[in-house]
Amino acid sequence: MNVLEVYYVYSMKTKAAHHFYYKSDLLYHFLKNYNEQQEEKELTNQFAYVTTRLETGKVMELLKKISSNVQINEIQANYFQITNGMKSVYLHVLETHLKLKCPSIYDAEQLLFKPLRLYPTHLFVAHAKKQVYGWISTLKNEQVLNSGQTL
């Protein structure tokens, strides 16, 4: 069996996504600090300020639209195995983020990230241990893109 990589997918508020979209390294380091020190009240408050709640039902609805070849099995409450025959990813849906276990980021892209791009918030993915991170969704606000701001 392959070693599974662990990634976190965070649902970010629009204001935070606009602020950190081109400062992904700062966001990554903040999220890493938060995960290591969740008992720190200041970090918890900041985390709550930049993240938004995930709706499990909406996430599952998007995943089911992927393809007729994809199977989603609920292993336990809010913990799913998503399979297309050859590839499998494991998804734990938490309040403000997803915990994802998969053999490679490519598998996650094929089975999970494509439909998640349709989720109505901005999603940021970060590896649990390695400095690998980025936005799953693009910056969707036309106003910011067309405002003449230098990015």
Domain boundaries, the chain: 5-145
In this prediction the pTM is 0.84
Task: Give SS3 for 41.
Answer: helix
In a structure prediction context, what are the per-residue pLDDT tens digits for the chain, which is 151 residues long? Answer: 568 999 999 999 999 999 999 999 999 999 999 999 988 999 999 999 999 998 878 887 877 776 667 888 889 988 999 888 888 899 998 888 899 999 988 888 888 888 888 888 899 999 999 999 999 876 554 344 444 444 4
The secondary structure element, H or E, covering residue 61 is: helix 56-64
| The residue to which tokens 């609920």 are assigned | 74
For residue 60, what are the contacts with CB-CB under 8 A and spacing of at least 6?
72, 80
Q: What is the DSSP letter of 113?
A: I
Q: Which fold has domain 5-145?
A: TATA-Binding Protein (3.30.310)
Q: Rounded distance, CA 57 to CA 54, Å?
A: 9
